[in-house]
Structures are given as structure tokens and as C-alpha cells.
Structure 1
Amino acid sequence: MTGPVAPDAFLERMKAMLGAEYSAFLASYEEDRLYGLRVNTLKAAVPRLLELTELKLDPVPWTETGFYYNETARPGKHPHYHAGLYYIQEPSAMAPAELLGIEPGDYVLDLCAAPGGKTTQLAAKLQGTGLIVANDVHPDRVKALVKNIELSGVTNAVVLNEDPERMVRPFAGYFDKILVDAPCSGEGMFRKEEDMAKAWQPGWVDKYAGMQRTLLRQAAQMLRMGGRLVYSTCTFSPEENEAIIAEFLDEHPAFEVVPAIAGHAGFAPGRPDWLASGRYARAGEVAGTARLWPHRLRGEGHYAAVLRHRGEADAPRAATAPPREASPARAQRGGGGSARAGRAAAAAADPREALARFAREHLAAALPAALELRGEHVYAAPEGLPPLDGIRVIRPGWYLGGAVKQRFVPSHALAMGLRAEDALRRIMLTAQDPRAVRYLKGETLELAPGDLHAAHDSVEPKGYCLVCVDGYPVGWGKWLDGLLKNEYPPGWRWT
């Protein structure tokens, strides 16, 4: 950038807030924006990715899986991106999920999840254990959320498109960890997003503060006693940061701030001195929250507060739904004819039977036992969910595929959630092989018999193959007489 594009009203306020630091802050707008990616450890460990990639990567200090890369590298134009080996993410945006302190088996909520960067980061920390519920109120943004969850190979996520107010009833006291990456005025992204800077208006601060206040109160009702909640924004205004937390603490005496700056080089403490004197009884506690300033570290502007419920987590989790593997007859209710004929027709139309046949013929690994049906579509449903009647559920679990005329068609999400060794037939390509890009463009491939790798000698060549790049799945193909019919989804193809 040749100079700051930030609005004058914003710059005047920052000058008054920062005082002697303002010149350094302003100078940061003259610097080039930073680019980052995060290794998806659901797929590959960090050392393995570093071994595979040709990218020149520098570590991000506040996360073991984050790295800076050069703007000219274009990691989104590489087969490893299509294999879900990493997620392109602004470096400071990696901090809130790190602060949440995920442990195996946690039940986690990402309340404002789209487009999914933090959701996939949290899911990688769970390593397939527990459960993650990813919600976003905007229908269009949920599409990107679903795609990124599937690309990353997440198999224990439920995706909702719901007003958080409606979620409080089924999820009251349910989650161990909650992330509220709240919508905000976006001041911390002005260097990265010039259009956001041009659109900014002073009234945005108060508008978003009202939303944030409500979201935090709703999230608190869904947290278990003893649970942890991280509130984060990508803005600088105290009204959206310290003031929100100070007011919340006054209203919720069972919550306390967990210091968020310890051990994180470059994180600055929250600023209670920017709050109205005497307005908040617990204002001093916000000094334990964290501010990420672009002139103090290599990243854009962020704020994060770690809150813990002081109670002991000894109460049982909210009541869960009954087993959802409904009988075929129940799934197909509403038909006519005799009971026996109805049961036979329902059994014939049961997508789970088609899935079972597909698994026997094409997979070397067992699929989850708990299944949920939506018409002809089959999902592997995470266990332990409460009843979600009346809630807009976009994905009730890992989408496995659907039945078409008694034949099961596997989903791309299934391919991305498998390991190479989970398939009976595999096509093993390297990232340098031109056929890898041709596959990702949707082309049919001519392959030699030696390109087909079978799990054992009795596997028939004809059928679905899991196409892999450097050992990691990128999608399905159908092998027939040396031709691989491409099953890569049109909306995902390399352009």
C-alpha cells in the first residue's frame, strides 16, 4: 500500500487512543499485508507437510500449525490445497481458536462460523473426537462453511443455519468450549481489505456492539459449568471489545477472565483505561484480555477474551436425542398398501442398504454405525446431540452420499474424510504429475493398469477408486478398462 486508506474519523480516534504509539500504528499501513496458511493436522502432521511442500514457510508464533508465506506463492493453486492439507488464513485470525484450549472429546460450538477457518482449526484439534457444531445465521455464507468443512475432511461436525436465540433451548448448558468470533466493524482488517475501509462508517461501532452483547449472552447460556468461552473480534474499538467483556462480567458473576497474553509474544493486554470511569465494577479484569496490534506483531488487528465459568462440570449434559437410525419403515412412512408390502418397499428403498453394499465393494474400513437419513441421503451422525426439532440443520453430520435407483453414489465429503488406505481401489498420483491437475479440472484420465492400486488381489478393477495426490485423497473416479471417469464435483474444479 502507498498510504492509509482508513477513514479520517477512524484515524482521529486511533490517534487519541494510542498516543505515542500512533505513529508506529500508522506506519504499519504502509507495509504490505501478510499472508498465512494453517496446516490441517486432520490430514497431515506439520513435519509431513513441510517435507512435501515447495512453499517457503515461516512459523506464526502463536500457533504450531500456522505459517507465513510469500504473496507470490499462490498456495490455493496447488493440488495440496485441493487435498485439504492446509487452509489459507490470516495469521492473527488463528489466535482465537488457539486460546480456546480444545481437548480431545470436547463438545464445541463455533457460533459465528462462516466461512469455516476457525471451525476447521478447532476440528483439527479434536482429531475426530467429541463434536463440533458450526453455526452461521447467513444462508449464503453457510455454503462456504460446508465446503471448507468437507475439504478439510471433518467428520464430526454438525452445520446449522440458525438464529442463536433459537439454539439456546436445545443446547442449554451443553458445550464444553464455545467460540464467539463476533461480527464487528472490521477495523483490524483495513490493511487487508481496502473495500472494508472505504465502506466503514462511525455508526458501525454501536450497531455491532449491540449484536455482540446479545451473542455473548446467548453463548453463555449454552456453556457447561466449568467450560471455556472465547470472544473475539477483528476490530480496535473499545466499545466492541473491552466494554462488551466488562459489561458481561458485571452481569455474569460466575464467569472470570483467563489471562490471554501469557506466553504469546506480541500480544498486548486489554485496556481498562479506555472504558468510562466507574461504569463497570469489574473493568480491571479486562487487562487480562488480548489485543493483537499490526504494529506490534506480524498480523492484522484482533481482540480476544478468554472467559471461564467457575462452576464444576459435574452436572449431566443436556438430554440427547434417541438413536436416530430409524427403521426403514419409519423412514418411508406415509405409503399405502398392505403392511407387508409397505415394509418390503421401504426396505428396498432404504439408502443404508445401498451404502452397505457400496462399503463392501469399495471400502477397506468400516463406516460409523450411527446414521441419519434425509430422503435418499445418508449422514454419519455424531452421537450425543440433543433433539434439534425446529432448528435449521444444514448438515446433520458427515455426508456420506445418496442412493439412486438402489445404487449408492458416494459424496465428495466421504472421499475427503477417508484415508488412502480406507479404499479398496486407489489411484496414487504425485503433485508434480500433470494428471493430478487434469483430474482436478474434471478430465477423464487414461491410466495404465499399474496406476491402479488394490488393497488385495481379489479386488476387481472395475468400480469406484479413491484418487490421491501424494497419498492424500482428492476425490472419486470410476475405473473401467484403463479409463478413469472423473467424479470430481463441478463446483470444486480447478479453474
Structure 2
Amino acid sequence: MKQGLPEAFVQAMEARLGAEMPAFLASYDEERLYGLRVNTWKVPVQAFLALSELELRPVPWAESGFYYKDGDRPGKHPHYHAGLYYIQEPSAMAPAELLDVRPGDRVLDLCAAPGGKTTQLASRLQGEGLLVANDVHPDRVKALVKNIELSGIRNAVVLNEDPEKLEGPFEGFFDKILVDTPCSGEGMFRKEVEMAKAWRPDWPERYAAMQRVLLRQAARMLKPGGTLAYSTCTFSQEENEAMIAEFLDANPWFEVVPVGGSAVHQEFAPGRPDWLPAGYARGAETAGTARLWPHRLQGEGHYAAVLRHRGSVGGGTPAAAEPERGLRVEPLRPREARPARKGAGRAGAAAPAADPLEALGRFAAEQLAAGPYSGAAVVWRGEHAYAAPKALPELDGIRVIRPGWYLGSVAKQRFVPSHALAMGLRASDALRSVSFAAANPRTVKYLKGETLELAADELHIAQEGIQPKGFVLVCVDGFPVGWGRWQDGLLKNDYPPGWRWT
């Protein structure tokens, strides 16, 4: 692999590493490592390990992370389609883990696409609190939305905006912020050979200019007492220790939370303030940041710094106890308060809906055993309904791609549930469900979009008196993968074409 590394990069690394350089270069001839992270929002780690046939071993710095063997294909398994795990490079699991998100936190993933770290943060929230995932690139946001929906996340808002426009509405708003910045990518050369070919010596300086702005913007959106994690997948000190040292000098109310080389994170090497040029007053504090070296641990190259806001800010007053304001919302009416309608006693009756909210309420009454969004704020965008997390600030003028959990849409006075709704449900939430084992041939047939023969007695009916005809939540080993509609011994397939097994 050494022959494929840019000469200027090799020279820079020799100057940094000295006697460690032979071990560093030798790591490029080692086989790539592959990882996945269990989606603990859907399934506890131990339950997944008991269910899965994959041969896994733990990633030391991520409690839900595991290495899998080269040759295994977890992306071609029904459990992947059920959102039970996310395929993720092991070192990339570190920054979100270090942020130490807790249920109930308000969290921002500022550079979120394609969503690996976003879904990791969501797992830590366990459906409580708020997750705002933003990315400036429209095409990459599509992948972000899909991964959020696949993971069954209910409390996320997806934005596609320049971070500068977020500073005002979100000033002093978040408890935790992840800034996984675009970078020169030197730590990914073993994983992505094309990146090594494209690299140029001026990339660290070019990316540092962008990172400096992103870090400053993120800091403004953090609450006093909050925590910010900054990360890159590169080795250059310009994008790493120098960025943090410069930030600390300009923002004295921030401090480094030591992680590199700590007793808890022994795999992580400490930051290298000795690589900094003179002139940084607080440069020594970057020893508490973390470097993940491919020749010292089983993963690719990364850098991470955890910063804590110590209190008051010079210039600018942080937001406090904001009122619950924001997007236009309508509360979902309780089931018992819904008006009676003609034909309501007949299963699947097509009574006309007085308004979209009534269509949604009727769907919930006739198809769901429980309302997982009951009491939530239901946001309408035309005929599309979303369950919006509470306490959002005003987002006028902001490109909001998903204002919350996408529930579905109204067409011809009927509510049509979304795939995102199915993925965010539990099997027990539906009045009708069916669960196939992962090895059952009908599982792959469903994931390919085929209509299935299914006897009525194979359905699980949650309540007495419910007829089998209607929407069915289709599950694999008890975990939802999508919708079907049962009628006369057939399960018509509603699995989205863009998601199908190929």
C-alpha cells in the first residue's frame, strides 16, 4: 500500500511519527476491518447477539459496536432491512460515543449525512429528547433521511441548511453537539484508495478554513454546561490540535474534557500539542484530545476532542427555558374524542374524512393497537403528516426536510401510512401483524416486493373482534420491516420499490 500513498503525505507522517513510522506504514498492508453497530433503540445488544448468526467480537470503545468477518454480508440479511444494525467503520463509532448523549438531551449533528453517527446518537436518546440532523448537501440528505427511517427514529428533525442560518434560531439551545467535520481524509486512505489518489498537500489548510467556521457556529448553539464533540478522519495537526487550540484561545469559557490516553479509553492515544507551532496560549490542553492510530488499534485513523461549555459567554446571551414554539402544529385528538361516523362498526369501512386529521385518527383507530404518537404535535405539510418533537424554535426560512417522524399522507380521504411509520413502530403497536423468521423464504419474497399467500390464522390479531382485512405490520423475527394489506388469503405488498432486496 505504501506505493499508493502520496509522497508529500508520507514525508509529513515521517516528520510526525519518527520511530513509529515503520509500524504506521505496515498497518496499510493489513486487511481492512469491518464493523457494525447494534441499533439499541430497536433491540438490546444481548438480545441481538442471541438472535444473530454473525460471528462478532466487540469494538472496545463502543458498547454496541462489533467487528464482523470479511466475507460476511450483513447488508444482505433481513435484519439489516429491519434496522437492527448500522454498518459502520469501527473508529467512526468513537466521536458519538464520546459525546455521552443521555435520554432527554437536545442533540445536534451538524454535518450529519449519511447518518451513521446520527443513528448512533438516536440510539443513545432511546426515543426521548430531540435530535436535529443537518447537512448542507441536498443529495447527501437523501441518504440521511433513509438511514433515519430505517433505524426507526421517531424524535429526529432533518435540515438541509448552511449552519450559519441555524445560529440564530438555535442559539444556546443544545445540550450536546457533534461536529464531525469534512476533512482531508488522511485516516481513510487504507479504506478508500481513491481518496489517497485524489489527496493534495494543500487540503489540510483548505479544510481547516471550513472547520474553523463550523466549530465557531456550533459553539454558539451550545447551552452553558453543554458538551461539544469535534472529530475528523485525518492526521494533520492543522485540522486537529491546532483547530482546538485556536478555538480555546478565542473561547475561554470552553475546556477540554480529557479522553485521549485515559484509563477509560486506553486505546486512544493522547493529542500532540508538541506538534503545534508556538503562539497558542492553551495549546497544552490538546493533550486531552484523542488520536486513533491504525497501527495502535483495530480501526482507521481518527481524531476527536470533547469540549465543555463552562458557563457564561462574553457577548451574547444564551437561550433559557424557551417556550414550546415553532412549526404550525395540531395535537392528535384522543381516540375517545373522535366523532362517530357512519359505517364505523364495519372493518375497513370507507367513511369520508372531514379533514386530514380525522383521516389520520381513523387510521389509528382501525389499524393500530396503540398510538405511539398520541399526544404528540402533528405537523401537516399539505397532505403529509409528521409527529414533531416538542420544544422546537421557530424555523421560518430554514430548509426543513423532515419536521419529525413521517407518519404518512392523505389520499382520497384515506390515510396511507408511510414506511417510516412502520419502521418506527413496535410489533405490539399494530392491530394486525405477521412475523416471519429471517430464514423463511417468504421473508426475502416480501423484501423483493412480491405478493404473498397468507392464511388468516397466520396473522396476529391484537384485540378480539378485529377482522383480518386491513393493514398488516410485517415483521422479521418480531421486528417491523414494512406494511402489507391482507385480503382473502393474500398479503398485498407495500414495501417501497427503492428499498427492495436486489
Q: TM-score range by the shorter chain?
A: over 0.9
Any conservation in 1 of the 2:327–2:394 contact (CA below 8 Å)? no
Q: 1:4 and 1:175, CA in 2 relative to 1: closer, same or farther beyond 3 A?
A: farther
How far has the Cα of 1:447 moved from its partner?
1.2
Identify the residue that residue 271 of structure 1 maps to in structure 2.
Answer: 272
Q: What does 1:425-440 correspond to in 2, within 5 Å?
A: 425-440=432-447
Deviation at 1:317, TM superposition (A): 3.5
Contact 1:4 1:26 in 2 (8 A): no
**Inter-partner Cα distance in structure 1 for 2:473 and 2:331:** 31
Offset from partner CA, 1:262-289 (integer Å, 9 cap, x none)? 2112200000011102x11100000000
Deviations 1:73-132 (A, max 9, x none): 110000000000000000000000011011111000000000000000000000000000
> In 2 relative to 1, CA 272–3 (structure 1 residues): closer, same or farther, beyond 3 Å?
closer
In 1, the alpha carbon distance for the partners of 2:40 and 2:169 equals: 31
Aligned to 2:308: 308
SS of the equivalent of 1:115 reads: coil
1:332 aligned partner? none
- Give how far 1:142 is off: 0.1
Partners in 2 of 1:65 and 1:349 — Cα distance? 46
Q: Distance in 2 between matches of 1:349 and 1:401?
A: 17
1:451 aligns with one of 455, 458, 470: 458
Match of 1:334 in 2: none
Does residue 324 (structure 1) correspond to residue 328 (structure 2)? The answer is yes
Matched, 1:78 2:77: yes
After superposition, the C-alpha distances for 1:298-338 in whole angstroms (9 at most, x for unaligned) are 0000000000000179962445415732499xxxxxxxxxx
1:363 lines up with 2:368 in the alignment? yes
Counterpart-to-counterpart distance in 1, 2:331 and 2:422: 27
In structure 2, the CA distance between the partners of 1:58 and 1:364, relative to structure 1 (3 Å rule), is: same
How many pairs align?
475
CA distance in 2, matches of 1:15, 1:327: 61
Partner SS for 2:4: coil
Contact 2:37/2:85, CA 8 A, preserved across alignment: yes
Counterpart in the other structure of 1:66: 65
2:411 to 401, 404, 408: 404
Query: Counterparts of 2:290 and 2:489 in 1: how far apart (Å)?
Result: 58
Could you say if the C-alpha distance between residues 323 and 119 of structure 1 is closer, same or farther in structure 2, counting changes exceeding 3 Å? closer
Give the Cα separation in 1 of the matches to 2:108 and 2:326.
Answer: 21
Map of 1:31-110 to 2, 5 A cutoff?
31-110=30-109
**Which amino acid counterpart does residue 234 of structure 1 have in structure 2?**
C
Residue number in structure 2 paired with 1:288: 288
Given candidates 331, 344, 352, the residue that maps to 2:357 is 352
CA contact 1:423–1:466 (8 Å) conserved in 2: yes
In the alignment, residue 306 of structure 2 is paired with which amino acid?
V
Q: How far apart are the structure 2 equivalents of 1:395 and 1:376?
A: 14
Amino acid at match of 2:266: A
Q: Distance in 2 between matches of 1:383 and 1:152?
A: 20
What's the TM-score, normalizing by structure 2? 0.93
Contact in 2 for aligned 1:226/1:312 (Cα 8 Å): no
State the Cα distance separating 1:418 from its structure 2 match: 0.3
Per-residue CA deviations over 1:31-84 (Å, capped at 9, x if unaligned) read 011000000001100011101111000100001100000110110000000000
Cα gap change, 1:320 to 1:57, in 2 (>3 Å): same
The yes-or-no answer on 1:494 pairing with 2:495 is no
Give the 3 Å change call, closer, same or farther, for CA 11–3 of structure 1 in structure 2. Answer: closer
Instruction: Work out whether residues 173 and 319 of structure 2, in 8 Å CA contact, stay in contact via their aligned partners in 1.
Output: no
Give, in angstroms, the shift of residue 456 of structure 1.
2.1
2:184–2:234 contact (8 Å) kept in structure 1? yes
Structure 1, gaps ≥5 residues long: 329-346
Q: Which moved more, 1:265-274 or 1:397-406?
A: 265-274
Whole-Å separation in 2 of the counterparts to 1:348 and 1:48: 42
AA of the residue aligned to 2:471:
Y
d(CA) in 2 for partners of 1:187 and 1:170?
Answer: 35
| Paired position in structure 2 for 1:19 | 18
User: d(CA) in 1 for partners of 2:400 and 2:321?
Assistant: 21
Q: Deviations over 1:205-250 (max 9, x none)?
A: 1110000000000000000000000000000000000000000000
The answer to whether the 8 Å contact 2:327/2:395 transfers is: no
Q: TM-score scaled by structure 1? A: 0.94
Larger mean Cα displacement after TM superposition, 305-314 or 98-107: 305-314
Query: Quick one: distance in 2 between partners of 1:349 and 1:124?
Result: 38
Helix, strand or coil: the match of 1:41? coil
Structure-to-structure mapping, 1:246-265, within 5 angstroms: 246-261=245-260, 262=262, 263-265=264-266
AA partner of residue 138 (structure 1): H
Decide whether the 8 Å contact of 1:174 with 1:317 is kept in 2: no
Distance in 1 of aligned mates of 2:161 and 2:182 = 15
Question: What SS does the aligned partner of 1:81 have?
Answer: helix
- The amino acid across from 1:310 in the alignment is R
Corresponding residue of 1:333: none
Instruction: Give unmatched runs, 5+ long, in structure 2.
Output: 333-351
Runs of 4+ in structure 1 displaced over 4 angstroms? 312-315
Aligned residue for 1:169, secondary structure, equals: coil
User: Match of 1:240, SS?
Assistant: coil
- CA apart distance, 1:350: 2.6
Q: 1:280 to 1:419 in 2, by over 3 A?
A: same
User: Shift of the alpha carbon at 1:353?
Assistant: 1.0
| SS at 2:168 equivalent | helix
Distance (whole Å) between structure 2 residues aligned to residue 319 and residue 27 of structure 1: 56
Distance 2:329 2:172 in 1: 26
CA distance in 1, matches of 2:198, 2:167: 33
* Alpha-carbon offset, residue 450 of structure 1: 2.5
Going from structure 1 to structure 2, the CA distance change for 1:240 and 1:485 (only over 3 Å counts) comes to same
Matched letter for residue 325 of structure 1? V
Letter of the structure 2 residue corresponding to residue 271 of structure 1: R
Counterpart residue type for residue 481 of structure 1: D
Within 1, Cα distance between the matches of 2:158 and 2:70?
32
Which digits, 9 at most, give the CA deviation of each residue in 1:321-369, with x for residues without a partner?
15732499xxxxxxxxxxxxxxxxxx95632111111101100111233
Q: Which residue of 2 aligns with 1:202?
A: 201
Find the aligned partners of 2:354 and 2:55 in 1 and give their Cα distance.
52
Counterpart AA for 1:292: L
Q: Is the 8 A contact 2:172 2:319 kept in 1?
A: no
Indicate how the Cα distance of structure 1 residues 470 and 199 shifts in structure 2: closer, same or farther if over 3 A, else same.
same
Spell out, residue by residue over 1:358-408, the C-alpha distance to the aligned partner (whole angstroms, 9 max, x if none): 101100111233100000000000000000000000000000000001011
Q: 2:491 aligns with which of 480, 484, 488?
A: 484
Deviates more, 1:4-13 or 1:485-494: 4-13
Q: For residues 326 and 65 of structure 1, do their structure 2 counterparts lie closer, same or farther at Cα, with a shift above 3 Å needed?
A: closer
1:173–1:317 CA contact under 8 A, matched in 2: no
Q: Is 1:467–2:474 an aligned residue pair?
A: yes
Whole-Å Cα distance in 2 between the matches of residues 410 and 317 of structure 1?
35
The residue type paired with residue 248 of structure 2 is L
Identity %: 71
CA shift for structure 1 position 452: 1.0
- CA contact under 8 A between 1:320 and 1:387: conserved in structure 2? no
Q: Quick one: distance in 2 between partners of 1:406 and 1:32?
A: 56
> Aligned equivalents of 1:29 and 1:124: distance in 2?
32
Distance (whole Å) between structure 2 residues aligned to residue 3 and residue 55 of structure 1: 33
The residue matched to 1:76 in structure 2 has which SS?
helix
1:114-159: per-residue Cα shift (whole Å, max 9, x none)? 0000000000000000000000000000000000000000000000
Q: Distance in 2 between matches of 1:232 and 1:4?
A: 28
From the superposition, tell whether residues 22 and 429 of structure 1 become closer, same or farther in structure 2 (CA, over 3 Å). same
